[in-house]
Structure 1
């Protein structure tokens, strides 16, 4: 599993309003598009610089494609990256602080120590 690539997805999608909306409306297609177009780009680098070997694993791809932030958290995705992206996706569907409360409720089964978030 590549926590780096998982966190890179969360980071890059969260910073692009078009990708956020695309991910909200059609997550499976957005994950596939992101993996094809963005996964091998070097962060904060001029275009043209890229690698060729980074791929999401099936379990990561499925958790992203189904908006399964609990599984992402359990896999070691960074909690701040996960929370900020999913607030952007679902906050409008909840009352004030409603999504954050739902996020905490769904992750209540987790106890310290949390999954390792080191990449």
Structure 2
């Protein structure tokens, strides 16, 4: 698993409101586009400097395409990055205060400590 690449995806998408909406509406297309066009872009560099070797595993790609944040958590994606992006995408779908956060906690409740390793 490339926890780095998954976390980079979560971080980059969460910081662009248009990309958040694109990912909410078209996760398959957004993940494919991002992996092809953005995954190998070097962070904090100007210009078009890129690496060539980064790609999602099949499990990562599937979890990202289906918005499966429990699977991402299990694969070691950073829970703060996952939570903040999915709050931006799905909090509006819940009527009660903290609705999505409570759903997130419920869906991850089967995990016990020690949690999956989030080191990259």
TM over 0.5: yes
Q: Which moved more, 1:61-70 or 1:91-100?
A: 91-100
Distance (whole Å) between structure 2 residues aligned to residue 28 and residue 44 of structure 1: 26
CA distance in 1 between counterparts of 2:71 and 2:44 reads 28
Q: How far 1:18 moved relative to its partner?
A: 1.1
Separation (CA, whole Å) in 1 of partners of 2:77 and 2:103: 18
Is 1:117 matched with 2:118? yes
Q: Secondary structure at the match of 2:117?
A: coil
After TM superposition, give the deviation of residue 47 of structure 1 in Å: 2.3
Instruction: Give the number of aligned pairs.
Output: 119
Instruction: Tell me how far 1:15 sits from its aligned partner.
Output: 0.4
- In 2, distance between residues paired with 1:106 and 1:75? 15
The equivalent residue for 2:48 is 48
Corresponding residue of 2:100? 99
Listed as ranges, the matches of 1:1-119 within 5 Å are: 1-95=1-95, 96-119=97-120
* Residue 37 of structure 1, CA deviation: 1.1
- Deviation, 1:108, is 0.4
Q: Give unpaired runs (5+ residues) of structure 1.
A: none
TM-score by length of 1: 0.98
Q: CA RMSD in A?
A: 0.6
Displacement of 1:7 in angstroms is: 0.4
Moved segments of 4+, more than 6 Å: none
Cα distance between partner residues in 2 of 1:98 and 1:104: 10
